[in-house]
Amino acid sequence: MEICKENISNRMKNNKKSLLHLVMFGAAMSLVGCSSTPSKTDIAEEQAKVEKIQSDAAEAQAERRQEQMEQEMKNLPGWVLDPPKTDGSGFYGVGIGSDRDLVNSMRKAKLQASYELAKTMKSELSGEDTMTGSGEGEYRYVINNFVDKVNLSGAQVVKQKVEPINGMYKSYVLMKYPYNDFNQVLKDSQANDANKKTLEDAYQRLMKKIGRE
């Protein structure tokens, strides 16, 4: 009987120890949980780290962009920055175009060069060119600084260069408008003016004849 009482007493002591250990474990876990809650200082430090990472990434991106621009300038044809001067055979225009579609990039460059030719001619130009590319979507280039169209059918492509840059096609074109074609345009223009005058005179004669009758 005394053995049984002793066993029961030992079990109760063991249970008390186990309960004490459980309480201590729970308290320790509670302290760990409390210590894992970030303080204002921790939050500020983490935010500073994130901002530093973002700043470094932006700086690296700017450096890469600068390197790309410098490389592009090295590959730039000399006649883009220093196009040929007007000579005895004609005058020149330079155009630059960029697009994900090769044809569109070339077309943009030629359009700009044609516009430069028209300005050099000191003529009046009114034109609109609309292109829908498969890459960046619709591209619209409108020339609306002048009034009348100029016949640029005689314009010639003298030099052209296309290179891929950052997933885009960059086109450079040098165009020339010969003086012979320019003189022909002037003759055609004068002829058109003469034709208009002749038609106007004929119309006035017809009106007078109808009026007399």
pLDDT digits (tens, 9 = 90+) for 11-59: 555 555 555 555 455 555 554 454 567 788 888 888 888 988 999 999 9
**Which residue segment(s) compose the domain that 131 sits in?**
83-180
pLDDT of residue 185 exceeding 80: no
Q: Per the domain annotation, does 45 fall within a domain?
A: no
Model pLDDT for residues 114-169, shown as the tens digit of each residue: 888 887 775 433 334 444 344 444 444 433 333 245 567 678 899 999 999 888 99
In a domain, 145, yes or no: yes
Domain contains 129: yes
170 domain residue, yes or no:
yes
Evaluate whether residue 61 is within a structural domain: no
Confidence of residue 90 (pLDDT cuts 50, 70, 90): confident
DSSP-derived 3-state class of residue 43: helix
Q: Tell me how many domains the chain contains.
A: 1
Domain presence at residue 88: yes
Predicted TM-score (pTM) of this structure: 0.53
Distance CA 107, CA 144 (A): 18
